[in-house]
Amino acid sequence: MEFNLLHHGISVETIHRNLVPARLYEEAVRVEKGFAIAQNGALVCDSGRKTGRSPKDKRIVEESGSSDDIWWGSINIGLDEDTYNINFERAVDYLNTRDELYVLDGFAGWDPKYRLKIRIICTRPYHALFMHNMLIRPTAEELESFGKPDYVVFNAGAFPANRYTKGMTSDTSVVLHLARKQVVILGTEYAGEMKKGVFTIMNYLMPKEGVMSMHCSANEDPEKGDVSLFFGLSGTGKTTLSADPSRLLIGDDEHCWTDEGVFNIEGGCYAKCIGLREESEPEIFNAIRFGSVLENVVIDKKTREVDYDDESLTQNTRCSYPIEYIPNAKLPCVGGHPKNIILLTCDAFGVLPPVSRLTPEQAMYHFISGYTAKVAGTEQGVDEPTATFSACFGAAFMVWHPSRYAELLAEKIRKHDSKVWLVNTGWSGGPYGVGSRFKLKYTRAIIDAIHDGSLAAEESYKDPVFGVAIPKACANVPSELLDPKKTWADAAEFDKTAQKLANLFHDNFKKFEDGASEEIRNAGPVAKATV
């Protein structure tokens, strides 16, 4: 029987289901204006006017089966059933106007016990190739017996939402309906919305099973089997540091921690490409080849060479590729219980130490806080860093209250005696504009010392403001760099800036205090008035 989408309300006759990458290349070049093949073999794609996610346009339908579970607010914004029906019908109507559609059936979750069957329905070949990379690819036999999907993503992103419809704030809308097991995308063609839609689903379902869903990367020692998790917001080095040639990569972005160990949710990686260099990130650089999707990058019109430094389209240049393109990927993407958990932050204030050891209570505090820092945009006329807090290092995708995820993590840390580290990949010697970015080679040396156990054995001292344990020495890292205060020319200015950041932590944590224990509340930095 020929495959069709009639049971989804879609009557388009020409359906391209699970085309191989070569066919999707042909389709993309045929139907997409301006698409090209880079010299390295990757498909170069343009997502249009949206070059990143639209978190303010994300909604979850308020329905009786899930409403009591969801942490409603500025991240999880509710939408009524009637408005969802309007958006759903709008998406299906648009899809029905197309001469041909692309379908990708795949899996989310490498552990068969928790695996979901996901169906992507889209209009663009590049979107199908992207999700071919990001989902776990079924075998021919699995595809034949795929049956009814658990969740369906209706990607009608080329068609806008009606901004005057109740609950809409723009012509972009990404809506999750948990009861109907559907995601509807309107008004954005950024491929990452599909990937994060699937992650949001897993973030809702897994805690119901007692499983910790995590926005993190994971790798493993090939001989000892020691697993490390890397949590961090965009730009902190999560993907870069987990792609370690001496270790096996379990995954770069989304994982779950069960009673048996960890598993990757995805079948591929989605790496930032801005400033990419083979010397510093050879695994990622060489993974960009035939079958990979380069999104919003600039290439030379004659040579087809990629200019990874060109940010004229966006700073958020990306590449998706199957995880097996990483030579040391671990397949299947599962591992044991983590021995080390590394919380990454890019501190543009320049006051957090390059590495520090956390107590379980401090780990919960920093996990719930999810801190990094960015430099404010010049259009506001601000030339100093701004703090960014994203609960659980992935608030945009967390459905439950952050304390639910923190409790699950704390339970597993204590049960398996995992060591937790805070690693700052940001500035040293002063804030952004004065100091300099901590060198990647030193951060890699810190990670190596964590993995070989030598850093845990080092003598440490307590930071007077943040309370974390700072090692006095680390192999292959100059000892004077480990104490951030010693790298500043002006000690008084350091103290002032450190206290400023401590106060920002304190102010941010106020919204979580009701759901946090006294031990966790007291595990944060010392907050006091600044002069």
The pLDDT of residue 519 is: 87
Of 118, 137, 99, which is closest to residue 16 (Cα–Cα)?
A: 99
CA geometry: angle at 101 spanning 100 and 104, to 5°? 150
C-alpha distance from residue 511 to each of 206, 368, 391 (Å): 24, 11, 11
For residue 528, pLDDT over 80 is answered with no
For residue 381, pLDDT over 80 is answered with no
314 Cα distance to chain centroid: 18
> What DSSP assignment string belongs to 130-190?
HHHHHSBPPPHHHHHT--S-SEEEEEETTS---TTSTT-SSS-EEEEETTTTEEEEES---
CB 340 within 8 A of CB 355: no
The pLDDT of residue 513 is: 86
Helix (H) or strand (E) holding 4: none
What is the rounded CA–CA span in Å between residue 527 and residue 507? 9
Residue 164: exposure state from Cβ atoms within 10 A (0-12, 13-18, ≥19): exposed
Greater confidence (236 vs 180) lies with 180
The pLDDT of residue 530 is: 55
125 contacts: CB under 8 Å, gap ≥ 6: 16, 19, 24, 27, 28, 31, 32, 102
Q: Candidates 3.30.1330.10, 1.20.1260.10, 1.10.150.120, 3.90.228.20; correct CATH number of 212-257+337-521?
A: 3.90.228.20
Measured from the Cβ of residue 147, the count of other Cβ atoms closer than 10 Å reads: 8
468 contacts: CB under 8 Å, gap ≥ 6: 353, 356, 357, 358, 362, 422, 462
CB 277 within 8 A of CB 267: no
Which range is least confidently modeled, 36-50, 58-72, 180-194, 379-393?
379-393
What is the rounded CA–CA span in Å between residue 431 and residue 385? 7
Token couple for 3: 């495959």
Tokens 């901004």 belong to which residue?
A: 163
C-alpha distance from residue 487 to each of 92, 243, 428, 435, 465 (Å): 58, 29, 7, 9, 17
The pLDDT of residue 516 is: 80
Confidence of residue 231 (pLDDT cuts 50, 70, 90): very high
CA atoms within 13 A on the CB side of 112: 3
Residue range(s) in the chain whose domain bears CATH number 3.40.449.10: 6-34+56-209
Of 327, 323, 330, 319, which is closest to residue 288 (Cα–Cα)?
A: 319
Angle between helical axes of 360-369 and 491-509 (0-180°, round to 10): 80
What is the rounded CA–CA span in Å between residue 254 and residue 322? 14
The pLDDT of residue 380 is: 34
CB 382 within 8 A of CB 432: no
What is the rounded CA–CA span in Å between residue 421 and residue 133? 31
The reported pTM is: 0.93
User: What value does the mean pLDDT of the chain take?
Assistant: 94
Of 245, 246, 241, which is closest to residue 230 (Cα–Cα)?
A: 241
Terminal C-alpha separation, the chain = 75
Active site residues: 53, 196, 215, 234, 238-239, 253, 318
For residue 510, pLDDT over 50 is answered with yes
Token couple for 402: 């952050």
Residue range(s) in the chain whose domain bears CATH number 3.90.228.20: 212-257+337-521
122 Cα distance to chain centroid: 22
pLDDT tens figures, 34-72 = 899 999 999 999 999 999 999 999 999 999 999 999 999
- Return the CATH class of domain 6-34+56-209: alpha beta
